Amino acid sequence: ADADGPAGTDAKISEAIGCRTRTVESVRQAFVLEGFAEALVRKQRATAPTPKLLDGAAEAKLIALRLGKPPAGFGHWTLRLLADVRGKLKAEISAVSNIMEEVGLYGARQIAYTLKPDIALVVDVTHATDYPTVSKIQHGDIEIGKGPTLTHGGCNHPEIVTRLEKVAREQKIKLQHEAMSSTSGTDTDAIFWTRGGIPSALISLPNRYMHSPVELVSLKDLKHIPELMAAFALSLKIGEQFKVKI
């Protein structure tokens, strides 16, 4: 894979055989460091592969459930809630599922710039602190089953937060509250300053044991998030702007 050799560059080789450049680099490195015979033999796994949680039939059932009508009293989806009352909407609604949040909020940056929305409601999870060893003084008092949370400060526009609180009271949706420091650690951080500023607010689902194999959430908390977002969308008026009055 020498640039001056007959085989061409790593990029040309990867393009020719349909693999990543990094794969070509790794194979070349194995030949140099381990020798021809060792490089051709697939290495044995140090540990057994993680078994799949769902087989093909279970995966198909899960997908069908998600795409079908939500169960009564639970998995409401925001767009489904708005579909029945779309004649009352005074705003255009765009639903987005972003990628690469964990590595730099790149998906949020791109779609916020492309759509240029007047308002952005961001949904993420937040750490529930209702279990031993967690300092509520340091991390706040957030419980599973007590409703979704609204975040105050930083990237969260106070007028959007105020409207969400008003809508929640009208819909009898319980809310919890948390304050942020310099960043929220969510896509809201990228969206709110895009294109000169987009009024934004973060709605979070309390999640116990986040980033572990045993994460736990409440379906009731989850149910209230699309209900809150749908009610917020229906509350909007033509030409309405969200600005802080000074």
Please pick, among 38, 59, 92, 101, the residue that the annotation labels catalytic.
101
Euclidean distance between CA atoms 18 and 223, whole angstroms = 44
Work out whether strand 176-179 and strand 200-207 pair parallel, antiparallel, or are unpaired: unpaired
Closest CA to 202 of 185, 222, 217, 219: 185
Asked if 101 is an active-site residue, the reply is yes
Cα angle 149, 150, 156 (rounded to 5 degrees) comes to 150
Contacts of 80-89 with CB under 8 Å at 24 or more apart are: 81/226, 81/227, 81/230, 82/230, 82/233, 82/234, 85/234, 88/234, 89/233, 89/234, 89/236
Work out whether strand 176-179 and strand 149-152 pair parallel, antiparallel, or are unpaired: parallel
Neighbours of 223 (CB within 10 A): 17
Active site amino acids: 101
